[in-house]
Amino acid sequence: MLETICYWLVGIGLAFDFFGCLGLVRLPDVYNRAQAATKCVTLGTCMILFGVALGAFGGVSVAMGVKALLCAMFILLTSPVGAHAICRGAYLSGVPLWEGSAEDAFKERAERIREEEIEELGEESGVQREKAQAS
Amino acid sequence: MKRLLGFVGALLLWLLLFWSLNIWVIAAGVGVAAVATALLGSIAPDGLERVLCLRRVGYFLLYLPYFLYYCVRANFDVMLRVVHPDVPIRPGIVKLPTTLKSEMAKTFLANSITLTPGTLTLDIDGQDMYVHWINIDTDDVKKRTAEICGRFEPMLRRIFE
């Protein structure tokens, strides 16, 4: 009985993962693709790990189950952060939104961040130049 | 205090990963946890110890199934959009105000938004959040905020503030 539940959990998890990958192919731009990749793949992978943990608690070893649960927790915590970092980085380095996009509120803020970064870089290179001159 | 909490957390994680109470495992764990805390303690968020209060832990346990429900709904939402022959999306980046104050609460709000239907947090600037939304269905800022942040804000305020 328990084994059947485990196999079902792993199977459903795989199905979610599959749809996440399908989204990666079918959706138009980086940001939409990242959405499909984070949501489906996070839940799918967590379900696979949960199925493994349940099976391990039922027979193989408790240590394995605990490790699987810990992995699930870390994926749940890190994958949204990763998606955020990838998308923010993509936007700041100039990847355009899909042409069918309805709105873009991030443009001004992104330009401000870029200007700040350029200023910082300028200061750093200025400091280096001064150092070079001093030496 | 927050370093102590970090140390205990790291040690607990180590012991869970090894799943043994051998004296050498514990000794090595204490060493590793101490190094990790010394290196990373300064970036731990302020107000971490407030989370230890029992009422907050209770609300957090309530928050988990609530969040999981939206997470599953998000998956079916994305799945339908992906398998639909026309791929029905109307994406864009919107700017939303949030009323949460503490950094921890805002982090959790951003992560929850990323894992729930059709939204992905790009950046937080003070009280403004920039969210990529896969299907913008209204132009009214209040309705948008209620739809995206409103689900989680009351519970997160009870947990972290």
pLDDT tier at A132 (50, 70, 90 boundaries)? low
How far apart are alpha carbons B5 and B90 in whole angstroms?
Answer: 44
Asked if residue A112 and residue A59 are part of one domain, the reply reads no
Nearest by CB to residue A35, choosing from B17, B110, B134, is: B134
Asked if residue A109 and residue A90 are part of one domain, the reply reads no
Asked if residue A84 and residue A27 are part of one domain, the reply reads yes
Query: Nearest C-alpha of chain B: how many angstroms from A124?
Result: 24
* Yes or no, beta carbons of B114 and A77 under 8 Å apart: no
Asked if residue A71 and residue A121 are part of one domain, the reply reads no
pLDDT for A130: 67
Let me know: does A3 contact A58? Beta carbons within 8 Å: yes
Answer whether B136 touches A (CB < 8 Å): yes
| A contacts of B136 (beta carbons < 8 Å) | 102-103
What percentage of chain A carries pLDDT values higher than 70? 90
Q: Examine the pLDDT at B47 and tell me if it is beyond 70.
A: no
- Listed in sequence order, the residues at least 6 apart from A8 whose beta carbon sits closer than 8 Å to its beta carbon are A51
Query: How many angstroms from the chain centroid is the CA of residue B29?
Result: 27
* Yes or no, beta carbons of B136 and A43 under 8 Å apart: no
Nearest CA in chain B to A74: B13
Asked if residue A52 and residue A15 are part of one domain, the reply reads yes
Asked if residue A46 and residue A96 are part of one domain, the reply reads yes
Q: Examine the pLDDT at A14 and tell me if it is beyond 90.
A: yes
Asked if residue A109 and residue A92 are part of one domain, the reply reads no
Domain count, chain A: 2
pLDDT for A11: 93
- Per the structure, the complete domain to which residue A124 belongs is given by 105-135
How far apart are alpha carbons B135 and A5 in whole angstroms?
Answer: 35
Nearest CA in chain A to B80: A19
Answer whether A83 touches B (CB < 8 Å): yes
What tens digit of pLDDT does each residue of A99-116 get?
Answer: 777 777 777 777 787 788
* Top-confidence range, A12-21, B68-77, B82-91: A12-21
Nearest by CB to residue B110, choosing from A19, A77, A84, is: A84
Which of the two residues, B51 and A53, has the higher pLDDT score?
A53
Asked if residue A112 and residue A90 are part of one domain, the reply reads no
Q: Using CA atoms in the order B30, B31, B36, B38, what is the torsion angle rounded to 10 degrees? A: 100
Burial of A40 (0-12, 13-18, 19+ CB in 10 A): buried
Nearest CA in chain B to A36: B78
Nearest by CB to residue A103, choosing from B71, B93, B114, is: B93
**ipTM score for this prediction:** 0.78
CB under 8 Å, gap of 24 or more: what pairs does B24-33 form? Answer: B33/B7
Reference B124, options B134, B113, B116; nearest CA is B113
| 3-state SS, residue B117 | coil
Asked if residue A83 and residue A22 are part of one domain, the reply reads yes
Q: For B28-65, b where at least 16 C-beta lie within 10 A, e where not — what string?
A: ebeeebeebbeeeeeeeeeebeeeeeeeeeebbeebee
Query: Nearest C-alpha of chain B: how many angstroms from A125?
Result: 27
Reference A81, options B23, B114, B124, B97; nearest CA is B114
Select from A16, A17, A32 the residue whose CB has the most chain B CBs within 10 Å, as the one to mutate to test that interface. Answer: A32
Asked if residue A49 and residue A35 are part of one domain, the reply reads yes
| B contacts of A68 (beta carbons < 8 Å) | none
Select from B75, B89, B90 the residue whose CB has the most chain A CBs within 10 Å, as the one to mutate to test that interface. Answer: B75
* Yes or no, beta carbons of A42 and B123 under 8 Å apart: no
Q: Examine the pLDDT at B122 and tell me if it is beyond 80.
A: yes
Asked if residue A38 and residue A20 are part of one domain, the reply reads yes
Asked if residue A117 and residue A57 are part of one domain, the reply reads no
Nearest by CB to residue A105, choosing from B13, B95, B134, is: B95
